[in-house]
Amino acid sequence: MKLVVLGLSLGSSWGNGHATTFRALLKAYAARGHDVLFLERDVPWYSGDHRDLIDPDFCDLVYYPDLAALDAWRETIETADAVIVGSYVPDGVDVARFVQGSARGVTAFYDIDTPVTLAKLERGDFEYLSPDVIPGFDVYLSFTGGPTLDRIEQQYGSPAARALYCSVDESVYVPLGTQKRWDLTYLGTYSPDRQPTLETLLLEPARRCPDLQFAVAGPQYPDDIDWPSNVERIEHLPPAQHAEFYSASRMTLNVTRADMIAAGWSPSVRLFEAAACGTPILSDRWDGIDSLFVPGEEILLAATPEEAIAAICRPSTRVGAAARERVLEGHTAAHRAAQLEAHLTEAQNRKMAPAPAALSERSLQPMTNNHPLTLVAGGAGFIGSHLCAELLSRGHRVVCLDNLQTARPSNLQLLEGHPNFEFVEADIVNPLPREILYRTGQFDRVYNLACAASPPQYQADPEHTMLTCVVGTSNLLHLAEAAGARFLLTSTSEVYGDPEVHPQREDYRGWVNCTGPRACYDEGKRAAEALAFDFVRMKRAEVRVARIFNTYGPHMHPDDGRVVSNLICQALSGRDVTIYGDGMQTRSFCYVSDMVNGLIALMESDIDGLEPVNLGNPEERTVNELAQAIFALMDRPVTVTNLPLPVDDPRRRRPDISRAERLLNWRPTMPLVQGLARTFAWFAEELGEASEREVAVMPVAAE
């Protein structure tokens, strides 16, 4: 992606938290393979000796003298994939209009001061942003999350407001072995609305505790402030010295501006920087802080001098260590760069979609009840079609998305007339279609079953198989993130490869041939899991991951090459039945209705999302035993031919489902003999072979 940023400032960190944010974010963004150009207005207060970043190695930094000079960059802005305008850019409203009138790619406003910006708009102060340009940005990136995002969309008409908090460069902000010099410190530029809190939580404790040492670093503090003698003043502390400053502090203070306290969900960069250094943090209170750090465990809160003194006198390295762990899990610059990429890609997909007027009349009509909307990708496939049917029977509204590459439209024949069902033909490797994107806010659940699952099918186009697993999963995760929907990935027992551990537990890392003919599927699913779990760690989406073991039942494709369908179809056709190898390889066969119940139970569970769950039947059978059970359903002899075992075909496969039993209270209930009889009867009818003379099946109860 070619990204152009117009911001203030990157080159100078003097009294400027924007620089720290831009540096960490854009460095990590460039590390993801993107090209970045930063256009900065040349202003006197961030020039000369105040510039401490001259030639960044992660982007091109160019200064322009005035608005007219931007015209020289019009073609660059026009051809960029994305253009971001930052808050507090001089002549920001005119810059926004210039960008919106020139750029063909995604345009975004990055508000590092959201509550301050909105307060200025309420007062009619349009210093760098005005209400009329907000709808023209494809996405409004906000330093503030929570209810403020809804306000930006509903009151100001933004097409999409997304939280993009500040972050920390974890390679720079690390605990140092610095000797402790201060008991409590504060790092921040003077602000009149922050000063009363600084007075309450630092200066007054300093007066009451003359034996303790304090420090306040940052510029622009008035000369008339009465600093206690045990408070050291540091006029300017460049970013290169921040880690040393925090490491020399037994505790550091976070003070939030009044507008940000009122809005909530507005973390300052010092929170993440200090935490990354392992320094315990004492903070003022505001809504949303507990969504970032656990009070009492990862951060300490105070509102009075007494509470502050109590915290200072009991500094806890445990609190600092816990905060560092939390930041490294979800608030580094690498996490934010991934989120920025996701937000820009989402906006790109919306921009590519045709206007709503082009949608069919049916696709825009509301469905018939008030249940949340569920998307089932791969819903026309074997398991997916059963899942759609079960969800509909439970009262859900279902949108089935499938490219019909390996699925059969006949699987949906009984669902097409259902008032709560809709089918959309599309490939998740491509940008999601307009029928999906324009319903983003309605989706409550997203199931991803979209991938060819049998070796002959997924090996027929290995590139597409891998892209479906990775790019397709990414597209659906972004949809789930944008919708606030819960996401379930159907992974596979193939992630265990030809296992050396038996039965397979979820903590077994597998024995996969990453260069073999099955790698497109095996490694594709492993990559999809990694992507899903990263979304959990970054708190971008609620995720569930199911590792599905061999499943069988009606709607299997006759030519999918799976052992159950192979044996039944060959037996019904009168051909020789093929068994690969000596038939002593084992599998565990789960009937499709049991599998569907397991998937729904997992989707609706309250697990933390970082626990993959095996779903399958723990009853292990050899292929020879399976064949004999199928042959028993025939009233004529069957001839068996043995062929060599396929490359990388696992010798043993059996799930340990103790996690599913414990977390989901789930265990398969369909006996193999009865499940095979139902499957056999369905195939017999499909193949036109059903007759009492040729096929002897057990009675089939209504499902």
Encode pLDDT of 247-279 as tens digits: 999 999 999 988 889 999 999 999 999 999 999
Identify whether residues 61 and 202 lie together within a single domain.
no
Q: What is the DSSP letter of 289?
A: G
pLDDT value, residue 316: 79
- 279-305 pLDDT per residue, tens: 999 999 999 999 899 999 999 999 999
Q: Decide which of 275, 297, 331 is a domain's last residue.
A: 331
The alpha-helical segments, DSSP class H, found in 214-360 are 242-247, 258-263, 269-276, 305-312, 317-330, 333-352
pLDDT value at residue 16: 76
Q: What is the pLDDT of residues 481-509, one digit of tens each?
A: 988 899 999 999 888 887 778 888 898 88
pLDDT of residue 199: 97
pLDDT bracket for residue 353 (50, 70, 90): low
- Averaged over 369-381, what is the pLDDT? 83
- Please check whether residues 157 and 188 belong to one and the same domain: no
> Do 257 and 228 lie in a common domain?
yes
**Dist CA 592 CA 548 (whole Å):** 11
Same domain, 408 and 480: yes
In a domain, 173, yes or no: no
User: What is the distance between the alpha carbons of residues 603 and 375, in angstroms, rounded to a whole number?
Assistant: 12
Side-chain half-sphere exposure of 241, counting CA atoms within 13 A: 12
Q: Which H or E run contains 219?
A: none
Number of domains in the chain: 3
**216 and 365, same domain (yes or no):** no
Each residue's pLDDT tens digit, 90-119: 999 999 999 999 999 999 999 999 999 999
Condensed to tens digits (0 to 9), the pLDDT of residues 671-697 reads 888 899 899 888 888 776 433 333 333
Q: Cβ(264)–Cβ(286) under 8 Å?
A: yes
Backbone phi and psi for residue 326, each to the nearest 5 degrees, phi listed first: -65, -45
Mean pLDDT of the chain, nearest integer: 88
Tell me the residue range of the domain where 285 lies.
Answer: 184-331
Residues 33 and 134 in one domain: yes
Within-domain flag for 588: yes
At residue 407 the predicted structure's pLDDT band, cuts being 50, 70 and 90, is confident
Same-domain check for residues 557 and 507? yes
Q: 701 pLDDT exceeds 60? A: no
Q: How far apart are CA 527 and CA 512, in angstroms?
A: 13
Q: Are residues 562 and 433 in the same domain?
A: yes
Does residue 263 lie in a domain region?
A: yes
pLDDT above 80: residue 61: yes
The pLDDT-based confidence of 561 (bands split at 50, 70, 90) is low
Using the predicted structure, report yes or no on whether residue 425 has a pLDDT greater than 90: yes
User: Is residue 520's pLDDT more than 80?
Assistant: yes
pLDDT for the residue 650: 65
Residues 155 and 302 in one domain: no
Contact status, residue 436 vs residue 377, Cβ threshold 8 Å:
no
What pLDDT is recorded for position 360?
A: 37
- Output the DSSP codes for 25-52: HHHHHHHTT-EEEEEEE--GGGSGGG--
Q: Considering just the CA atoms, what is the radius of gyration of the chain in Å?
A: 30
Q: Identify whether residues 363 and 292 lie together within a single domain.
A: no
Please determine, for residue 355, whether its predicted confidence score (pLDDT) is greater than 60: no
pLDDT in tens, 449-466: 999 876 777 777 889 899
pTM, entire model: 0.53
Q: Is 693 within a domain?
A: no
* Range in 204-208, 237-241, 690-694 with the lowest mean pLDDT: 690-694
Domain stop point among 331, 346, 372: 331
**pLDDT of 454:** 67
Single out the residue in 315, 331, 347 at which a domain terminates.
331
Domain assignment present for residue 338? The answer is no
- Asked whether residue 282 falls in the same domain as residue 408, the answer is no
- Shortest CA distance to 504 belongs to which of 536, 553, 548? 548
- The reply to whether 107 and 208 lie within a common domain is no
Q: What CATH number is associated with residue 576?
A: 3.40.50.720
Q: What is the pLDDT of residue 352?
A: 66
- Distance between CA atoms of 663 and 660, rounded to whole angstroms? 5
Residues designated catalytic: 521
The yes-or-no verdict on residue 22 having pLDDT over 80 is yes
**Strand 486-492 to strand 542-548: parallel, antiparallel, or no bridges (unpaired)?**
parallel
CATH number for the domain spanning 264: value is 3.40.50.2000
pLDDT at residue 441 tops 70: yes
Q: Is residue 72 scored above 60 in pLDDT?
A: yes
In 3D, which of 254, 198, 256 has the Cα closest to residue 227?
198
Q: Output the pLDDT for position 229.
A: 97
Q: List, for residues 611-665, the tens digit of each pLDDT value.
A: 999 999 998 889 898 988 888 888 777 788 888 877 756 677 789 999 999 999 9
Q: What is the residue whose two structure tokens read 């610095």?
A: 178
pLDDT band at 365 (very low <50, low <70, confident <90, very high): very low
Whether the per-residue pLDDT at 232 is higher than 50: the answer is yes
